[in-house]
Each structure stands twice: as C-alpha cells, then as structure tokens.
Amino acid sequence: MTTEARPTIGAVLAAIEAAGLAPRGAFSLTPGERVGALAGVRTIALVGVAGGEGWDAFAAAPEAQDGEADPLDRFSRRVIGALAQSFGAVALYPFGGPPRSPFQQWAQRAEPVHPSPIGFLIHSTYGLWHSYRGALGFFDALSLPEADRRPSPCAACVARPCLAACPVGAFTQGGYDVPACARHLGAPDGADCMGRGCLARRACPVGAEYAYGAAQASFAMRAFLRARAALAG
C-alpha cells in the first residue's frame, strides 16, 4: 500500500486481520475534533482484541518472550505503527500519554458496544471479552458501511449475574471498587480470578464462547495488578 493510494475500508480491515489483530470498527471525525494529535484526521479505524483474535499473534511475538516490561503495549506499538506507516495514517494508542485519546467514546461510535453494569464496555457479539489496542487515523474520508447499532444486551438482562458474581462485591450499582478487586487478586483466595479471569465477566452469558483462555486471562489480570502497583508508586 503506497501513501499516495487512497485506502478502502475493506483494505484496512484486511490488513489489520493479516497483522493478527481484530478490526474494531471505524467512524468519521467531525471538523471540530480534528485538532491536536488529530489535526487533519478524518477517519478513525480501531484495532484490538476480540476473544482470542489478536492474542495468538501477540503470544508468538518477540515482545511476549523477551522478559521486558509492557510486552503487549510494545507489540501494539510495533504492529499498529507499521500498519499506520503502510497506509500513510497516524497511529493512536489508549496507553502512554498524556494526552490520551478517548477510546471508550470512540468505541461506542465505531461498533455495538455499551457500558455494562460492571462498567466495562459490552459488545453485542463478544460480550466482555475484548479490548482496544490502538487506532489508525486516516487523512482521507473513507467510505464506511452503515454503523452497527445493535442495542445493549444488558437492556434485556433481568438477572444481571455479573453484579453478584464477584467474591468481594467489587461491582455494585454505585461503581467499581478497584482497590477491593486488587486486594482479592493478590490474596490466595483470588487464585481462580487470577488464573481464569474475572468471575464477574465469566458470569455474563453474552459472548461466552469468546471467553479468554487461561493464558490470555491470566496475562490480563497480572497486567491489571502491575498497573495498580505502578499507580500506587
């Protein structure tokens, strides 16, 4: 792909998949949003992980094997950065900074995700088993398909098992008790959550077939604890 050629959204999605990551939707920026790091950018295409899609590529990458800090972030920068260069686009990430790009807001414009009762964005297909690793900002106005506006699956969920599943009650209607969650994960009683992933996420029936495998789930939980430790100083 040369920088002179105007890309199609189909070519962009195919390139993301070929790189081993998951296309996570796209949307157009308004003129008022094209400032700062987004100056001149007209189209955003999100890149991430959906179920196991994206994990296998990372697990086989050198960043996952070298023992250095922040392997997934470094992998994301390398792969998404190369994609951006190939399209003459700008690479954007939900980590690093400041300033930080509003990925949670972008996600809700790009694909059918909605805030869940436990705070995480729930996808109509993948449930709670997905994440965003970066975005490609295009200086062209790409022709995009009609947005997928499926409603939140939580709207029809009466039981809300996610709220009751956490063994330390970290999720309530009032919000997410992050310190309680972190303490539990660091204790012997938290071994199940550490090894197989968050019990609240696992209680949700939406997208259960896309639930992370043990290695992926454990990696995510360890990354959460490292991030908490870093914030604590």
Task: Give the range of the structural domain holding residue 74, as residue numbers without chain letter.
Answer: 9-138
Sequence-distant (6+) residues with CB within 8 A of 123 are 50, 111, 112, 113, 130, 206, 207
Q: Are residues 77 and 179 in the same domain?
A: no
Q: How many domains, the chain?
A: 2
* Single residue among 138, 163, 183 that ends a domain in this structure: 138
Chain-wide mean pLDDT for the chain? 94
Q: Are residues 199 and 167 in the same domain?
A: yes
Q: Are residues 132 and 28 in the same domain?
A: yes
* pLDDT of residue 101 exceeding 60: yes
* Single residue among 84, 109, 138 that ends a domain in this structure: 138
Tokens of 12: 């962009």
Residue 87 lies in a domain: yes
pLDDT, tens digit, for every residue of 107-154? 999 999 999 999 999 999 999 999 999 999 999 999 999 999 999 999
* pLDDT of residue 227 exceeding 90: no
What does the pLDDT read at residue 229? 79
**What is the C-alpha to C-alpha distance for residues 97 and 100, in angstroms, rounded to an integer?**
5
What does the pLDDT read at residue 3? 47
What does the pLDDT read at residue 2? 45
Q: Are residues 20 and 119 in the same domain?
A: yes
What does the pLDDT read at residue 233? 58
Residue 46 lies in a domain: yes
pTM to 2 decimal places: 0.94
* pLDDT of residue 4 exceeding 70: no
